[in-house]
Structure 1
Amino acid sequence: MDRISALRNVEEALRDFEAGESDLAATEQRVVTILRTYATDFEGEEGLRAYQATGDGRAHGLVVVAESESEARERIADLLGEAPSALDVDISPV
């Protein structure tokens, strides 16, 4: 999915919400799905996938796109301003 398609899909989801054809929870799920598809489907970018951190602390629930679990751990650590070795979380594909 390219950027323009993703934006159009998000706009459609918002229109449905504004028209009362979709509730907030369904709209949120729809937008998350669009974003996840966009983030993991870059043209020419093979091997990218979404990874989520689970465990205690600020990293819990964060989702990043990376080529591997170790790269995902580094990206999450960068987002939080911590060393990758300091993260007490499991990293798994979403």
Structure 2
Amino acid sequence: MDRISALRNVEDALRAFEDGEMDLATTERRVATVLRTYATEFDDDPRTTYRAIGDDAVVVASSEPEARERVRTLRDVDDDVPFGLERLG
């Protein structure tokens, strides 16, 4: 899914919420689904998504070492603290 499609899908979900066609919980699920789909589909791009196991940190990176560094930066994790990493895309 490209960025424009993702934005349109989020806009459609917000419009349905505003029009009373969807409740907030359904809107949140739909927007989260769009974001997860967008984040895990990188056509013709060497990057992929990784998630820190036991955490909700999901990052886009070209390699596992890069992903670990991004998680450490986002979560302010000490270099000595080990954590698992799961490839999503």
* TM-score of the aligned structures, taking structure 2 as reference length: 0.74
Query: Quick one: which amino acid aligns to residue 73 of structure 2?
Result: D
Query: Quick one: which amino acid aligns to residue 23 of structure 1?
Result: D
Query: Quick one: which amino acid aligns to residue 3 of structure 1?
Result: R
Alignment map for 1:65-80 (pairs within 5 Å): 65-80=60-75
Deviation of 1:13 (Å): 0.5
**Structure 1 gaps, min length 5:** none
RMSD of aligned Cα (Å):
2.2
**8 A Cα contact 1:77 1:87, kept in partner:** no
> Residues of 2 paired with 1:72 and 1:26: CA distance?
31
Number of positions where the alignment pairs a residue of Structure 1 with one of Structure 2:
88
**8 A Cα contact 1:69 1:92, kept in partner:** no
**Corresponding position: 1:44 with 2:44:** yes
Alignment map for 1:13-32 (pairs within 5 Å): 13-32=13-32
Identity of aligned residues (%): 55
**8 A Cα contact 1:6 1:34, kept in partner:** yes
**8 A Cα contact 1:53 1:89, kept in partner:** yes
**Structure 2 gaps, min length 5:** none
Cα 1:27–1:86 shift into 2, 3 Å: farther
